[in-house]
Homo-oligomer: A and B are copies of this chain.
């Protein structure tokens, strides 16, 4: 099966998480007018016994077409990826719940200025990069409990970015 990414937008991505971007957001002027503050861009969810954890993921570019064989999910917390670069990258997701069939798997392409914040339990492929090694800021949940499930796909999907 061939999967081609659609452009990432808040509307299209709403079932899976939030698009983290300042485009279209209202800013407040602070710091004597010298700073525009785009506040409260993400709805974090770390549960009653979780706490936020900040990491950097440095990811190798994936050879294209990108082979999608496995999805994962974090049932106990949201997971945000914010690029520390300005190049588009693909995001592969499927709805939370039972392991998805192939027709439930969706791919999106960021515009180079967007990050994402996955809702808890949303199935997704691990962070993918194109072209060159890329760094991402990751904000996810630290805490007790098993926060990783994996699902091997029956048939490989080829992602054509």
A-side residues, CB < 8 A to B, are: 20, 22, 27, 30-32, 34-42, 44, 51-60, 62, 80, 82, 84, 126-127, 135, 137-139, 142
Contacts and interface: CB of A to CB of B under 8 A. Distances in A.
A84 B137 CA distance: 10
Given A40-B142, A139-B139, A142-B40, A126 B31 contact: yes
B38 A58 contact: yes
Contacts of A142: 40
Contacts of A31: 59, 126-127
A82 B137 contact: yes
A101 B127 CA distance: 47
A80 B53 CA distance: 12
Contact of A51 (B44, B55, B58): B44
Contacts of A84: 84
B20 A54 contact: yes
A37 B57 contact: yes
Nearest to A86: B84
Contacts of A62: 34
A40 B55 CA distance: 5
